[in-house]
C-alpha cells in the first residue's frame, strides 16, 4: 500500500523538495480536454520535471469533456504529446466526471472510454479510469469499464466500492489534505496495487528503452475460430456478478510462460477445472486460485489489437456464451478462419 497525492494548477507552485519525504507517489494533471496547448495544465511541465529530478514516482491524469469518440481520440493525442519525454511509473488515468457527460448513455460513455484507453494501450502505456464511486455505480456501468483499472473517489473513512486491489487499484479518500510544501488543500490517495512493479514487469510506459520484439507465430483475424492451447493455472478467482454470471478468473494466469487475459478477466462458463496434466475435466466445478483449467470449446474472434508492450502477440477480443473478454493471442490456436 502506497500513499500519494494528485495535483494540478489549482495547487500553484509546489515545493517538491518538501513534499518528497511525505508521499510515495504523485498523480499529475497533464491537461484537460482536447489536444490544444491552451488546454495544457500550466504547471504540468514544472511538476513532472521536479518529480523526475527528485525521483518521485508519478503518473498523470487528463480531465475530459469528451461527448463522443472523436473528442476522446483528441484527448489521447493531448496526453501522448505531453508525456513523451517522461518516464511514468504510475498509470495514465482518464478522468470522467464532467457535467457535459452526465446525461450520456452508459454505452456512449463506454465508447468514449474504450477509444481513449485502447489508444493509450496501443502506445504502450498502462491506462485506467478515474471517477467518483457514484459515477462508477450509476453512469460508468457499461461492461467495458470492467477491462480497465479504476481510481475511485469517495471521501469517507473507507472505500465501499468493492474490494481494494481487485475492483479498484487506487482510492482518493480526501480532497482537503494538507502536505508541507503545498499551499492550501490537496487530494489524498492510497494505492493498493504496486503499479511500478507491474508496469516494469509488463514492459509498459517505455521505462525500458529496449525495442518490443513481436513473437507471434500466427495472425488472427476477426471471425477466426480459436481454442486455448494448453493447461493454465488460476491466479485469481472472482464470484459471479452481473458482467460474469458464472464468475471469472484473474488476469495473470500463464501457460508455457505466456500471459492469458492480462488486465482482463476470463469468464468461467466456457472453461473447465482440470488437473495439472489436463485430465479430470469438470465444467461444473468452481475454480479457485491455484486450480488448473483448460477449455475444449471454440471461441470467435471479434476484434484484434496489434502487439504492444507485454502483449507481444497482440490481444484478441473473444466471444463465448454471450460474454466478451480479451486475452493475449499467444496461447490461442486457430482452428478455422472465416
Q: What percent of the chain has pLDDT over 70?
A: 86
What pLDDT, on the 0 to 100 scale, is given for residue 257? Answer: 41
pTM, whole model, 2 decimals?
A: 0.64
Give me the mean pLDDT over the 252-281 stretch. 64
Count of C-beta atoms within a 10 Å radius of residue 182: 20
- Band (pLDDT 50/70/90 cuts) for residue 11 is very high
User: Is residue 43 scored above 80 in pLDDT?
Assistant: yes
Mean pLDDT of the chain: 84
Contacts of 135 (CB under 8 A, 6+ apart): 96, 97
Ranges of each domain in the chain: 2-201, 225-336
Least confident of 95-104, 163-172, 277-286, 293-302: 277-286
pLDDT tens digits along 55-70: 999 999 999 999 999 9
DSSP state string for 237-263: EE---SS-TT-EE-TT-EETTEESSTT
Which range has the worst mean pLDDT, 89-98, 111-120, 325-334?
A: 325-334
Among the residues of the chain, which ranges form H helices?
16-19, 44-54, 69-83, 106-122, 133-138, 195-201
Task: Identify the band that residue 255 occupies on the pLDDT scale cut at 50, 70 and 90.
Answer: very low
CATH number of 225-336: 2.40.50
Q: pLDDT at position 312, please?
A: 61
Least confident of 22-31, 107-116, 183-192, 305-314: 305-314
164 — pLDDT class (breaks 50, 70, 90): very high
Mean pLDDT (whole number) for 287-309: 78
77, 58, 71: which is closest to 100 by C-alpha?
Answer: 71
Q: What is the pLDDT of residue 275?
A: 78
Of 120, 55, 117, which Cα lies nearest the Cα of 89? Answer: 55
Q: Tell me what pLDDT residue 299 has.
A: 84
Q: Which of 47-61, 83-97, 172-186, 241-255 has the weakest average pLDDT?
A: 241-255
With cut-offs at 50, 70 and 90, classify the pLDDT of residue 82: very high
Q: Note the pLDDT of residue 313.
A: 67
Residue 203's contacts (CB-CB under 8 Å, 6 or more residues apart) are: 124, 212, 309, 310
Structural fold of domain 2-201: TIM Barrel (3.20.20)
Strand partners, 248: 238, 267
The average pLDDT across 111-138 equals: 94
Find the mean pLDDT for residues 105-109.
96
| Residue 322 CA, distance from chain mean position | 23
Q: Helix, strand, coil % (nearest 5) of the chain?
A: 25, 30, 45
Element (H, E) at 24: none
223, pLDDT greater than 70: yes
pLDDT tens for residues 165-217? 889 999 999 999 999 999 999 999 999 999 998 888 778 888 864 333 333 34
Amino acid at each position: 500500500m502506497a500513499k500519494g497525492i494528485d495535483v494540478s494548477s489549482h495547487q500553484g507552485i509546489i515545493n517538491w523538495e518538501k513534499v518528497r519525504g511525505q508521499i510515495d507517489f504523485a498523480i499529475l494533471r497533464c491537461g484537460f480536454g482536447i489536444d490544444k496547448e491552451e488546454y495544457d495544465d500550466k504547471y504540468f511541465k514544472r511538476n513532472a520535471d521536479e518529480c523526475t529530478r527528485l525521483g518521485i514516482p508519478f503518473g498523470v491524469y487528463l480531465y475530459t469533456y469528451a461527448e463522443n469518440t472523436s473528442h476522446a481520440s483528441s484527448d489521447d493525442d493531448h496526453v501522448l504529446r505531453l508525456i513523451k519525454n517522461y518516464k511514468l511509473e504510475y498509470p495514465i488515468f482518464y478522468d470522467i466526471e464532467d457535467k457535459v457527460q452526465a446525461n450520456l448513455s452508459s454505452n456512449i460513455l463506454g465508447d468514449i472510454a474504450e477509444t481513449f484507453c485502447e489508444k493509450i494501450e496501443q502506445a504502450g502505456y498502462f491506462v485506467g479510469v478515474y471517477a467518483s464511486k457514484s459515477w462508477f455505480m450509476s453512469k460508468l456501468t457499461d461492461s467495458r469499464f470492467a477491462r480497465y483499472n479504476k481510481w475511485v473517489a469517495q471521501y469517507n473513512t473507507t472505500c465501499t466500492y468493492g474490494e481494494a486491489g481487485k475492483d479498484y487499484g487506487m482510492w482518493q479518500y480526501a480532497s482537503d489534505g494538507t502536505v508541507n510544501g503545498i499551499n492550501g488543500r490537496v487530494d489524498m490517495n492510497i494505492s493498493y496495487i504496486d503499479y511500478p512493479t507491474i508496469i516494469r514487469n509488463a514492459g509498459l510506459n517505455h521505462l525500458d528503452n529496449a525495442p518490443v520484439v513481436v513473437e507471434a507465430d500466427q495472425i488472427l483475424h476477426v471471425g477466426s475460430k480459436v481454442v486455448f492451447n494448453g493447461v493454465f493455472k488460476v491466479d485469481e478467482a472472482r464470484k459471479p456478478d452481473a458482467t460474469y454470471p458464472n464468475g471469472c478468473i484473474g488476469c495473470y494466469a500463464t501457460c508455457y510462460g505466456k500471459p492469458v487475459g492480462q488486465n482482463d478477466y476470463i469468464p468461467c462458463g466456457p472453461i473447465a477445472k482440470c488437473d495439472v496434466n489436463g485430465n479430470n475435466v469438470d465444467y461444473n466445478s468452481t475454480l479457485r486460485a491455484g486450480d488448473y483449467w483448460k477449455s475444449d470449446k471454440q471461441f470467435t474472434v471479434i476484434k484484434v489489437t496489434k502487439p504492444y508492450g507485454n502483449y507481444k502477440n497482440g490481444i484478441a477480443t473473444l466471444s463465448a456464451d454471450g460474454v466478451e473478454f480479451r486475452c493475449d493471442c499467444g496461447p490461442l490456436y486457430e482452428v478455422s478462419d472465416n
